[in-house]
A and B are shown apart, each in its own frame.
Chain A
Amino acid sequence: MTDEIKIEPGHEFELVGARANMHIDKNYASQSFWKDVLARFARNKGAIFGIIMITVIIAFAIIGPSMNDYDYDNVNLPHQNLAPRIRGLELLSVFNGTENGVNRYRDLGLDDTYYWFGTDTLGRDQWTRTWEGTRISLFIAMIAVLIDMLIGVGYGLTSGYFGGAVDGAMQRVVEILNGIPTLIIVTLLMLVMEPGLRSIIIALMLTGWIGMSRVARAQVLKLKEQEYVLAARTLGMGNFGLIFQEILPNIFGQLITMSMFSIPSAIFSEAFLSFVGLGVQTPMASLGSLINDGYKSFLNHPYMLVFPAAVLALLMLSFNLLADGLRDAFDPKMQEM
């Protein structure tokens, strides 16, 4: 693109010559990689939905339990099996306290009592318990990411970078670990520990990072022979510098994406283990244990199952959408010409 040039009328046919110098084409994207990524991410409606949903759920997890006066472990037998009732939303048949045409609030004379998500078989407030359970799920999500990043990435980077016998040995170990189902590991752990959050975290630490390590290793293998890595080697850069300065920044996007994808499966693992009774124990609530309790009364009181299940499903869906959006943002499909 030429800068403005003054050509006098009448002098159009005089030699002017070349005006090219080593200019940067103004059209090549002049923003950094991360701004590009952000722009692409913002355009993906699914991803935005996901991130908004996650924010909302996190917000409720934080303030939800304190929004009403009930604690998560307040057993109150007279108030058992009450349907959800929200002041102001009674016109919606879901929240008016009736179930199968029976309004037990009225029967018991509890006109000023509102249980927003209803109560369970022991009269405990479901609203508070659901959000307490969500806190646990989010905590697990955080742990999963941490384990992925620290153990998974480190393992995969080392294995892929050094190659040869080191890689061979490390991959055999991974293959063996991968062959053992998580359920078995947790059951075995129960021989030495109490079932609960700690045993789940340890189970994750043993096998939850394997997927990430594979991704990291694959990425390193891809980049190891790239010319800019070779160039850094010829300039004298050591192994550490090559891994962290040359290779890691170029695979960071894929690692984050993979990490986001592993969150839903970690959350579900915890929920499943709690569902089968190997996870958090009463009175603590996790989405999985709530689903377990609700499942027992499903035919009579469906609301006990529906709310925690809905929250769990939304949480997992949102993380999946987020991860999808991240993957597309980091790795856009190049339109060819």
Chain B
Amino acid sequence: MNRELVLRIRDLYISFRTAAGTVNSIRGVNLDLYRGETIAIVGESGSGKSVTMKATMGILSSNGKVNDGTIEFYAQDAGKPVTYKVLEMSKKAIRRHISGKRIAMVFQDPMTSLNPTMSIGTQLMEGMRHHDHLSRAEAWKKAVELLRMVEIPEPEKRMRSYPHQLSGGMRQRVDIAIALSCDPDILICDEPTTALDVTIQAKILELIQSIQKQRNLSVIYITHDLGVVSKIADYVSVMYAGKIVEQGTVNEIFYDPRHPYTWGLLSSIPDVTSDQKLFTIPGSPPNMLHPIRGDAFAPRNVYAVGMDYLEEPPMFKISNTHYAATWLLDKRAPKVAMPAALRARIDKMLGETVQDGE
């Protein structure tokens, strides 16, 4: 299969200067995104999932500093391959070549990501006229097409509506339309459905999936909801405290997780088909003001070994696509299997897939 690399992040280190001190938000992140595929970045608060993507778009806040690493974006410019080294580009260059045009972002809160004083149509056409230099008439036509694509009824009428006249779900659809208006190569979605009702969420996810197929779009989806991940992701990266602790295909992560944090996350989701007591990860995510010694997850890790407190575990290879950063995978470590309850649950799920004809 011919996989075309679109985005590559290597050894990213980012810190922030705050009133309380320096926060080491990202401590070494690697990511590869290929054309037409969806990566889900899963993490809780403080994991750094949003920060990584903001650095990719060049919209890191002013007190943030990239201390090390590269972010490279590969595209085609009039048939010829071009490499953009995002971290070395000036803000102006990023605005001209990348933001909105090649990489577009959909944000979490549809209430605040649309300008309340501009009509929908104006906001849709803004990007197109700025980046692609379309005339007003052309931009208008394309905007109506986009609204139709995101399944907004009566798109011509809606062009003149203002954001406050639309519901949350519709606003998010408009956000997606705006993001797609300049035909980007990558779509980054930062928890786009967290603020929406679950029925609307389902529809938005289906919409993103169908658009991705139509346009062969690469999508990075940031979320903390594992149910959403299982629906839309091809690959999953689980982040904790500024590092990726496990990554693999979605099937590998859900059916064969290896990192205790992933076990904990999967076990924290209530299972509507059983009555078992929910397993919980003790403690809370670390405050990133302190430098961390050893594995950041160790204090909350029921399966921690001594080494976890001394040295940070490297990424151990499980398969060509599946990696996990836990000392449990070291050959010197005791053989630890995932919790029995989780094992039972996964077996049940695998049973369902067989029934479904996988």
**Residues of A participating in the B interface, judged by any CB pair closer than 8 Å:** 1-2, 5, 7-8, 11-23, 25, 27-29, 332, 335-337
Contact = CB atoms under 8 A, between A and B. Distances in A.
A337 B289 CA distance: 12
B306 A332 contact: no
A14 B330 CA distance: 12
B61 A337 contact: yes
A15 B300 contact: no
A337 B302 contact: no
Contact of A18 (B282, B286, B292, B334): B282
A55 to B, nearest CB: 28
A309 B336 CA distance: 82
A18 B330 contact: no
Contacts of B304: 15-19
B287 A27 contact: yes
A2 B51 contact: no
Classify the secondary structure of A's interface with B: loop
A29 B20 CA distance: 8
B293 interface: yes
Contacts of B306: 5, 7-8, 11-14, 16
Contact of A16 (B23, B282, B292, B308): B308
A2 B299 contact: yes
Contacts of A8: 306
B218 to A, nearest CB: 26
Interface residues of B, number: 41
Contacts of A11: 306
A282 B281 CA distance: 79
A13 B307 contact: yes
Given A13-B306, A15-B303, A337-B51, A25 B63 contact: no
Contact of A28 (B64, B287, B332): B287
Nearest to B304: A16
- Closest 3 A/B residue pairs (Cβ): A20-B283, A7-B306, A12-B307
Contacts of B18: 335, 337
Contact of A5 (B286, B303, B309): B309
Interface string B325-346: 0010010111010000000000
Q: Counting chain B CB atoms within 10 Å of each CB, which of A17, A18, A332 scores highest?
A: A18
B19 interface: yes
B305 A16 contact: yes
25 contacts: A2-B309, A5-B306, A11-B306, A13-B306, A13-B327, A13-B330, A14-B306, A14-B334, A15-B303, A15-B334, A16-B309, A17-B301, A18-B282, A18-B283, A18-B301, A18-B302, A18-B304, A20-B284, A21-B282, A25-B287, A27-B20, A28-B287, A335-B19, A335-B61, A337-B51
Contacts of A28: 287
Interface in B276-294: 282-284, 286-287, 289-290, 292-294
Contact of A337 (B64, B290, B300): B64
B166 interface: no
A20 B299 contact: yes
Interface of B: 16-21, 23, 25, 51, 61, 63-64, 282-284, 286-287, 289-290, 292-294, 298-310, 327, 330, 332-334, 336
Contacts of B25: 337
Given A20-B299, A20-B300, A27 B290 contact: yes
A189 B271 CA distance: 77
Contacts of A23: 283
Contacts of A12: 305-307, 310, 332
A337 B327 contact: no
Contacts of B284: 20
Nearest to B295: A2
Contacts of B287: 1, 25, 27-28
A88 B307 CA distance: 77
A72 B140 CA distance: 78
Nearest to A7: B306
Most buried by B among A8, A13, A22: A13
A14 B287 CA distance: 27
Nearest to A2: B299
Contact of A14 (B51, B290, B292, B305): B305
A13 B309 contact: no
A242 to B, nearest CB: 29
Given A2-B293, A14-B306, A27-B289, 5 more contacts: A2-B309, A15-B303, A15-B304, A335-B63, A337-B25
A18 B305 contact: no
Nearest to A4: B309
A169 B304 CA distance: 66
Contact of B334 (A13, A21, A335): A13
A116 B319 CA distance: 90
A18 B300 contact: yes
Contacts of A27: 20-21, 287, 289-290
A318 to B, nearest CB: 26
Contacts of A1: 286-287, 290, 292
A184 B219 CA distance: 68
A142 B304 CA distance: 64
B332 A2 contact: no
Contact of B19 (A7, A14, A332): A332
B317 to A, nearest CB: 19
Contacts of B300: 18, 20
